[in-house]
Amino acid sequence: MNECALDTGESMSPQEKTPAVESGEVASLPPEVIASVRAYFSYYPNTRAVVLPALHLIQQALGYVPKSAVLELANVLGIPASEIEDTLSFYQFFKQDRPLGKYRIWVCRSLSCALCGGENLLDYLRERLNIEPGETTADGRFTLEAAECLGACDYAPAVLINETLYPTMTRERLESVLDELSKQDTNGQE
Ligand code: FES
């Protein structure tokens, strides 16, 4: 048995500590995600330390971390679901209510970027996408986020779209990046 499975800090079984996923309830975690979570056990001192990397895996697979996934994860890790909820609510990064859009746009509004027009970029996106930071467009394509420093202060204002950083962004460039993404999506549907 993996030693992490023994180190949950409690003597009760996971089923006793955590509301089990009711039989008949649709399991939301793909088996490969559960396997990847278990694979982390040998790299961390206990299963509580696996919560954060596990949440990343879940959000990557499902686009968000719904309540059912929290309950399942609690069972896998053998810890109370409330501890996972605490971690979830601490990090703005994770979504719980609905899946992220295909493109997650982070606009930095920390000092350097704010002074160089970051707020204007955010306003432009608010208007163009018709959503507020933290929201996703109805078509599920874009999620808008107001970011704290993205670590690219020398290139303010900075915008991150999924994994791609766009330095010294201007409204015109942002407009053409969004146009290009829309065009790619349209072509992909044909
Ligand atoms: S202040 Fe915007 S990237 Fe640092």
112 lines ligand 1 (CB under 6 A): yes
- pLDDT tens-digit readout, 67-87: 999 999 999 999 999 999 999
The rounded distance, in Å, linking the Cα atoms of 100 and 140 is 7
User: Any idea where the domains of the chain sit in the sequence?
Assistant: 5-90, 103-186
Tell me which fold the domain 103-186 belongs to.
Glutaredoxin (3.40.30)
Query: What's the chain's length in residues?
Result: 190
Confidence band for 36, pLDDT divided at 50, 70 and 90: very high
Ligand 1 atom at minimum distance from 110 CA: 1
Q: What is the pLDDT of residues 108-139, one digit of tens each?
A: 999 999 999 999 999 999 999 999 999 999 99
Q: How confident is the model at residue 185 (pLDDT cuts 50, 70, 90)?
A: confident
Q: How far apart are CA 173 and CA 177, in angstroms?
A: 6
Ramachandran bin of 130, using left for φ above 0, alpha for ψ from -120 to 50, beta for the remaining angles: left
* Residue 78 in tokens: 């053998």
pLDDT for position 190: 58
In the CATH hierarchy, which fold is given to the domain comprising 5-90? Answer: Arc Repressor Mutant, subunit A (1.10.10)
- Ligand 1 centroid to residue 78 C-alpha, Å: 39
- Ligand 1 center–CA 114 separation, angstroms: 8
144 lines ligand 1 (CB under 6 A): no
